[in-house]
Structure formats: C-alpha cells, structure tokens
Structure 1
C-alpha cells in the first residue's frame, strides 16, 4: 500500500506520510537515519552496534522509487531505499486524521 501524500518538514525534522486508510504517520529524521535499510547499515545493526547519528540530521531530498523512497540525509548518507511497508512498520507516532 502506497501513501496518498508524502511531506518533509525541515523545521520539525519529520517525514509525514498520509495513508489511504486516513492515518497520518510522522517519522523523525534522525530515527529514519538510524533505521536505514541499506546493506551497510543493516549489517552494522546485525552486529549489535548502534549507529551514531547526530540528532540534528535532516532528510534533504526524497526520491520516489515506486515501491518506496530513497532518502538523502544531510550527513551525506543516501544508500537506503525505504520500501513503503518498511516505513509503515517504523511508525510509532501514528494518529488518526
């Protein structure tokens, strides 16, 4: 399931996803960076290591990939493509509209 709208707030440091069922999901930029699904970041987490991410990191670019989003971060990291289903699972801050 793809969101019906995607927004990125630099000031609030949040990615906003609006889903077809009416849910609005807010995802923190730093947490998105910590949960990057690229092979390098996943391998790091599988070793039990916590990625060091500055809380001031921002998503500076969104690139649609059909099945998800490639996020480009202010720290230069751009390898992760976040499938829609993965983003939906990350959403702990989900509120009804």
Structure 2
C-alpha cells in the first residue's frame, strides 16, 4: 500500500484517539495531518509474525476482533494495539501507520487503497 507523501520522513503523532465503539482510530500528526484508521484496516494489516508470517510482503488478513482495547507506546517509534480478543503482538511503527492512513487526501491518490477501502464496512 503506498500513501501520498514520503513516509520515510513521517512525523511523530501528537495525539492518538480510539473512542470505544467508534471502530476508528484517529491520529493527529506533527505536520498537521489528521489520519483516519478504520479498525478493520488496522487489524487486517497487523504486522505481527502470527498474522503475516516471517517473510514476504505484508498482506491483509481477514478476521479477528475489531474492539480496540488499548494503545500502548513502544519506544519512540511505534505503538502496540491491544484488541478485544487479547491479540497484542503487532507493533505498528509510525511510518507504517502513516502509510496505512485512510483519510481522503491519502486515499485519493492511491487507486489500490481506494479500491480496498470500498470493500470494508463504513466507520
């Protein structure tokens, strides 16, 4: 999934929000960007070895609980998302999160992402 902009220079998030029951996480980035992350997108692209295996490109894996219970800081580069079924082995780097952004400006320039997002339930 390629996003717009240079994700290698992704700024740090200023605030992360995931209101209970909302099925979406929001990130306010240091450069003023407001990112939107549907839980289905985050869970489906969980970067852990259990979900993705040990090699090859990251892929969307269907299934899993979509209730986001907690967001835990991992160093100064990532967060761990804790899901309602106890799954918590995925460490989402800020760079990866910026690339996954589903806001209209990020999705608009990426036909693959736009096509994928059309298949998931609205948030």
TM-score, normalising length: structure 1: 0.81
The 8 Å contact of residues 44 and 51 in structure 1, kept in 2 or not, is answered as no
CA gap 1:27/1:67 in 2 versus in 1, 3 angstroms? same
Partner of 1:93: 103
Q: CA deviation at 1:51?
A: 2.5
Extract structure 1 runs of 4+ deviating beyond 3 A: 44-47
Structural mapping, 1:6-85, within 5 Å? 6-43=16-53, 46=56, 51-53=61-63, 57-65=66-74, 66-85=76-95
Unmatched 5+ residue regions in structure 1?
Answer: none
Whichever structure has more helix as a proportion of its residues is 2
CA gap 1:50/1:90 in 2 versus in 1, 3 angstroms? closer
The 8 Å contact of residues 21 and 67 in structure 2, kept in 1 or not, is answered as no
The 8 Å contact of residues 45 and 60 in structure 2, kept in 1 or not, is answered as no
Whole-angstrom CA distance in 2 between matches of 1:44 and 1:88: 22
Q: 1:25-44, CA deviations, whole angstroms, 9 ceiling, x for partnerless residues?
A: 11011210110011121128
CA gap 1:60/1:24 in 2 versus in 1, 3 angstroms? same
Number of aligned residue pairs: give it.
94
The 8 Å contact of residues 69 and 82 in structure 1, kept in 2 or not, is answered as yes
The 8 Å contact of residues 38 and 102 in structure 2, kept in 1 or not, is answered as no
Unmatched 5+ residue regions in structure 2?
Answer: 1-10, 106-123
CA gap 1:53/1:63 in 2 versus in 1, 3 angstroms? same
